[in-house]
Amino acid sequence: MTDTSAAPPDSTADADAALKDGSRIAVIGGGPAGSMFTYFLLDMAERVDMRLDVDIYEPRPFTKPGPAGCNMCGGIVSESLVQNLAVDGVWLSSDVVQRGIDSYVLHTDVGSVRIATPNDEMRIGAVHRGGGPRDVTEAKWESFDHHLLSNATERGAKVISTRVEEVGRANGHPTVRVKGGEPVSYDLVVVATGVNTSILKTFEGLGIGYQRPKLTKTLIREYYLGEDVIAQTVGTSMHVFLLNIPRLEFAAVIPKGDYVTMCLLGDDIDKELGDAFASAPEVRAIMPEGWDAGAASCQCLPHINIHGVEKPYADRFVFIGDSGVTRLYKDGIGAAYRTAKAAARTALFEGVSERAFRENFMPVCQSIHGDNRIGEYAFVLTRIAQRLRIMRRAIIAITRDEQANGRRPRLSGVLWDIFSGSAPYSDIFRRMFDPMLAVRGIAAMPGVLVSTIRSTELAPGPFRHSDPGTPEVKA
Ligand SMILES: Cc1cc2nc3c(=O)[nH]c(=O)nc-3n(C[C@H](O)[C@H](O)[C@H](O)COP(=O)(O)OP(=O)(O)OC[C@H]3O[C@@H](n4cnc5c(N)ncnc54)[C@H](O)[C@@H]3O)c2cc1C
């Protein structure tokens, strides 16, 4: 570590901590947060006629199939992010977005229901972060992370395709060192490393007040089914599962190109839990006949940030995306977008001092933090639903009624936003307690009680692969 004792936080005079022509910025990590930060910074700098030198340190070859090129993720890009990026001039073309997800299908042990997009033009995207799963033979699609990184390099950033080994401080400026190299001094270091990296520990040793976020393990599997089979089975829906499996908070099966991605979030997910989920009848019902749950093309167990960093900034340092503050369980790429943009705006227009980041960048992190606290309560309710069969019956009954009879999508809208991560948790939580939703719940109760008492007699048939467009219930 280089001179970790030097330059305590806030020691830089604010006047010296403004970016100017020729300022040098290191972005550690070229995932969504790092690439979007760079794109916004260079875009805004051009508008004010300032020339900045930005080095992005990123060792992953994002076009390469398999783990080497992949940033391990479910790959859902929320509709709000698709729209925000478009407004900012970042187009997600059809070779990047592998499938427009036009509906969710919620599966429980007491039935399934399809929830159509609340608004026809709001399609969310499903992307591969890298070159695709390990056994991809033909690159039909562009990697999402490669696409964003290209947007950053087109603005003039330089990519240094290697891992940062060490970060330090010398003469009041941060330094970055790669393997076999000398420390290089920068005016600003932007940390966008995500959480699946050992480098974050280094920042705790710098004495800048950074403490790593709280993490938990997740599981992702990719299965090759082929486009045609996917069209007949999983379709263009994202399938989400409310199953009473301990430690499982959220599970989804997402169609992408020739593959489907299975994604499990919860409390320290492991391979056994992945196997238990994959063998659940509700999961097998959406997969093709004879599907082999053990034949995944790829599997990984990445960490996810479940409690963000209290102080994601310091003098000439800012932590964006997962390495700082992100949304709980949902829309991590959207949170990377928000923190990246706020950091870029602050650095360019307010400076790179601790004070500048505290006053201008931190409010965005606090708003995500605060919303996550409300999200925790929303997830308590979904946990209760996982345990209480009568509640699952009520959810299915109300949602089916809304979908089949064209009613205002009160519960459907809540579920859509929980699954897609498109709305703030505060908004979702408020709508969960909508009195009109309670009225619908009361109206559905007689039917729910009858079907609870006579559950086997009333059980409709299984989820039909051949007809994924129909609101459907199974037992
Ligand atoms: C199971 C799972 C499913 C998810 N599903 C979704 C989803 O569907 N939609 C969604 O929006 N979000 C999802 N997320 C969250 C999403 O993946 C993250 O929020 C998002 O990737 C954060 O972007 P980032 O740029 O901060 O970090 P990352 O995407 O992790 O990128 C960090 C980059 O830093 C690089 N790096 C690391 N260390 C170094 C180093 N020492 N030197 C140089 N470079 C380094 C890495 O190579 C990497 O490219 C999911 C997460 C998990 C775990």
Total number of domains in the chain: 2
131 C-beta closer than 6 A to ligand 1: no
pLDDT tens, position by position, 349-394: 999 999 999 999 999 999 999 999 999 988 888 889 988 999 999 9
Instruction: Reply yes or no on whether the pLDDT at 107 is more than 80.
Output: yes
Note the pLDDT of residue 121: 52
2 C-beta closer than 6 A to ligand 1: no
The alpha carbon of 126 and the centre of ligand 1 are apart by a number of angstroms equal to 15
Note the pLDDT of residue 126: 87
pLDDT tens, position by position, 166-178: 999 999 999 999 9
Note the pLDDT of residue 119: 66
Which residue among 57, 193, 307 has the greatest number of ligand 1 atoms within 8 angstroms of its CB, and so is best to mutate?
193
Q: Cα-flanking dihedrals φ and ψ of residue 447, to 5°?
A: -60, -40
- 88 and 166 fall within a common domain: yes
Which protein residue's CA is at the shortest distance from atom 43 of ligand 1?
163
Question: What is the distance between the alpha carbons of residues 273 and 145, in angstroms, rounded to a whole number?
Answer: 29
Note the pLDDT of residue 246: 86
- 87 and 169 fall within a common domain: yes
73 C-beta closer than 6 A to ligand 1: yes
The alpha carbon of 193 and the centre of ligand 1 are apart by a number of angstroms equal to 7
Domain assignment of residue 380, yes or no: no
Which residue among 63, 70, 197 has the greatest number of ligand 1 atoms within 8 angstroms of its CB, and so is best to mutate?
197
Domain assignment of residue 468, yes or no: no
Query: Hey, what amino acid is at 299?
Result: Q
Q: What sign has the CA pseudo-torsion 193, 80, 43, 354?
A: negative
Question: What is the distance between the alpha carbons of residues 336 and 190, in angstroms, rounded to a whole number?
Answer: 13
69 C-beta closer than 6 A to ligand 1: no
Which protein residue's CA is at the shortest distance from atom 17 of ligand 1?
73
- 146 and 161 fall within a common domain: yes
Note the pLDDT of residue 382: 87
pLDDT band at 101 (very low <50, low <70, confident <90, very high): confident
Which protein residue's CA is at the shortest distance from atom 19 of ligand 1?
332
- 56 and 147 fall within a common domain: yes
- 41 and 65 fall within a common domain: yes
Note the pLDDT of residue 18: 93
263 C-beta closer than 6 A to ligand 1: yes
Indicate the pTM of the whole model.
0.91
Note the pLDDT of residue 214: 96
Domain assignment of residue 395, yes or no: yes
Note the pLDDT of residue 447: 87
Domain assignment of residue 377, yes or no: no
Q: Which helix (H) or strand (E) holds 75?
A: none
Note the pLDDT of residue 287: 97
31 C-beta closer than 6 A to ligand 1: yes
Note the pLDDT of residue 23: 97
Range of the domain at 412: 100-124+219-301+388-458
Nearest atom within ligand 1 for CA of residue 81: 11
Of 183, 193, 188, 182, give the one whose Cα is nearest residue 58: 193
How much is the average pLDDT of 108-113?
Answer: 94
- 87 and 108 fall within a common domain: no
> Residue 323 gets which letter from DSSP?
G
Instruction: Reply yes or no on whether the pLDDT at 294 is more than 90.
Output: yes
Domain assignment of residue 357, yes or no: yes
Note the pLDDT of residue 247: 87
Q: Tell me which of 12-26, 65-79, 422-436 is least confident.
A: 12-26
Nearest atom within ligand 1 for CA of residue 302: 53
218 C-beta closer than 6 A to ligand 1: yes
- 264 and 399 fall within a common domain: yes
- 283 and 309 fall within a common domain: no
Note the pLDDT of residue 362: 98
Note the pLDDT of residue 402: 94
pLDDT band at 14 (very low <50, low <70, confident <90, very high): low
321 C-beta closer than 6 A to ligand 1: yes
Nearest atom within ligand 1 for CA of residue 335: 19
Of 290, 132, 333, give the one whose Cα is nearest residue 220: 132
pLDDT band at 311 (very low <50, low <70, confident <90, very high): very high
How much is the average pLDDT of 192-197?
Answer: 97
* 191 close to 316: Cβ distance less than 8 angstroms: no
309 C-beta closer than 6 A to ligand 1: no
- 84 and 230 fall within a common domain: no
The alpha carbon of 371 and the centre of ligand 1 are apart by a number of angstroms equal to 20
Which protein residue's CA is at the shortest distance from atom 52 of ligand 1?
73
Q: Which helix (H) or strand (E) holds 261?
A: strand 259-266
How much is the average pLDDT of 309-322?
Answer: 97
Q: Which residue has the higher pLDDT, 136 or 178?
A: 178
- 224 and 171 fall within a common domain: no
The alpha carbon of 29 and the centre of ligand 1 are apart by a number of angstroms equal to 9
CATH of the domain at 211: 3.50.50.60
| Cβ within 8 Å of residue 206, ≥6 positions away | 1, 4, 167, 168, 169, 314, 317
- 86 and 180 fall within a common domain: yes
- 314 and 193 fall within a common domain: yes
Note the pLDDT of residue 97: 81
